Amino acid sequence: MNFEYFIAKRLIKGKEHKSSISTPIIKIAIFAIALGMVMMLITIATGVGLQKKIREKVAAFNGHIVVSSYDNNQSIESLVPIDKNESFYPEFSSLEGIAHVQGVATKAGIIRTASDFEGIVVKGVGADYDWSTFEEYLVEGKIPDYDTSHPVNTEILISKHIADRLQLSIGDKANTYFLKKGKSSNPVPNIRSFVVTGIYSSGFQEFDEVFVLCDIRHIQRLNKWKENEIGNFEIFIDNFEHLEEKGVEVNETIYPVLYQETIASKYETIFEWLKLFDLNIIGIIAIIILVAGINMITALLVLILERTPMIGILKALGSSDWSIRKVFLYNAAYLIMIGLFWGNLIGLGLLWIQKLYGVIKLNPETYYVSTAPVHIDIGYVLLLNLGTLLLCLIMLLIPSYIVSKVSPVKAIRFE
């Protein structure tokens, strides 16, 4: 058995250690480590969870990369159609990391009831639309079926925000008015009568206030487009971390008349705000580890002071300064790991409760979510524990140097 580890183990298990004057200080140091780990776990899990959830919501309404015609001029409405029969549709086989491609079209309109009306953007989708991104937001009704082998479907999916404002329920008819394309002497708008079949709530107010989903064939007929013409392509990727890289690759692959835009550039304000979370997380972790390290330094100095006679005896028996320092570092590592154990147990427990029950609520108008989202990844949990242990031990190397200043003669006589 390692000599230093053996001595440290005897010190830890010794009865006199449990009743020594250093016991309260050691308990405070362990508590600081545990509390710090709880705070770091909550900070990372909620920070990363919020980033992930907001990215998912933005992607659900736009895809990760949007490909459209330059002539649309950044309009929220699809003005100029593009041919659906592109080489990258329905599968972007020439690039790796592309999960799904779907064709959509949008058109501004007004949805009206007998007592009220609301300005909306009707998003036309087809059989290729990936509804998995919307399933978790469905609060009532069902997802419409827009299979092109069936007749044009009049079912629509509206947000809870619009449903509440217009007092619409599942099965209700909703008349929607659209301006006629081009210049026309007839001021009468185009009218489409839809049936509400599903109600969603993403919590993302910017989208819930305007988006209504319908069969894309309605948009094609209103715009007098052909069956193979759509407004734009929405491209989903496997890994969001490669968004900018994939955006460049898509841009190099598509025809020059088409324009690609990532959601990070389309909603730059939101994603710049999300980047601030990374700085906040790093800052909080740095402060917590520093505080925990200072507490451990205090505990280590007290342990060294308390064990001064032992240090003198070990030196008299020929032990080197580094060997004795290792004894105290082993002891400190044990205390740190106790703190980490309880910190992980309490922190992960609290996060699991939040994940299951959503105890902590947030204002969706500010944070785009109604409850604090939690993302638990075993990778960052292990990295956080290992990093905390190593950084605290590195901080303890300097105060442990005091061992080399202890004189064996004076230490043995020390009381």
206: nearest Cα among 47, 364, 65, 46: 364
Burial of 337 (0-12, 13-18, 19+ CB in 10 A): middle
**Cα distance between residue 297 and residue 396, in whole Å:** 6
State residue 395's pLDDT score.
87
How far lies 306's CA from each of 100, 310, 394, in Å?
Answer: 65, 9, 22
d(CA 81, CA 84): 9
CB atoms closer than 10 angstroms to residue 273? 13
Rounded CA-CA distance 114/127 in Å is: 32
C-beta atoms surrounding 410 within 10 Å? 10
Q: How far is CA 243 from CA 259, 263, 265, in A?
A: 16, 9, 10
Phi first, then psi: give them for residue 236, nearest 5 degrees: -105, 140
Residue 126 has a CB neighbour count (10 Å cut-off) of 18
**DSSP line for 127-196:** TT--THHHHTTEEEE------TTSPPP-EEEEEHHHHHHHT--TT-EEEEEEPPSS--S--PPEEEEEEE
CB 327 within 8 A of CB 406: no
Could you give phi then psi for residue 330, rounded to 5 degrees? -60, -45
Helix (H, G, I), strand (E, B) or coil at 224: coil
Query: Residue 375 in contact with residue 61, Cβ under 8 Å?
Result: no
Do residues 147 and 216 lie in contact, with contact meaning Cβ atoms separated by under 8 Å? no
> Which positions ≥6 away from 202 have C-beta within 8 Å?
57, 60, 61, 137, 159, 208
Q: For residues 364 and 205, is the Cβ–Cβ distance under 8 A?
A: yes
Q: 0.85 exceeded by the pTM? A: no
Kind of pairing, strands 98-112 and 232-237? antiparallel
Counting every residue written for the chain, the total comes to 415
pLDDT, one tens digit for every residue, the chain (415 residues): 577 777 777 777 764 455 566 678 888 888 989 999 999 999 999 999 999 999 999 999 999 999 988 877 667 888 888 988 888 888 888 888 899 999 999 999 999 888 888 999 999 999 999 998 888 899 999 999 888 778 889 999 999 999 999 999 999 999 999 987 665 556 678 889 999 999 999 888 889 999 999 999 999 999 889 989 999 999 999 999 899 999 999 988 888 888 899 999 989 998 998 888 888 888 989 999 888 888 888 888 888 777 777 777 777 777 787 888 888 888 888 889 999 999 999 999 999 999 998 899 888 777 888 888 999 999 999 999 999 999 888 888 888 777 766 666 555 655 5
Closest C-alpha to 232, from 71, 81, 91: 81
d(CA 311, CA 242): 55
Q: What is the token pair recorded at 290?
A: 């520093």
Q: 45, 376 in Cβ contact below 8 A?
A: yes
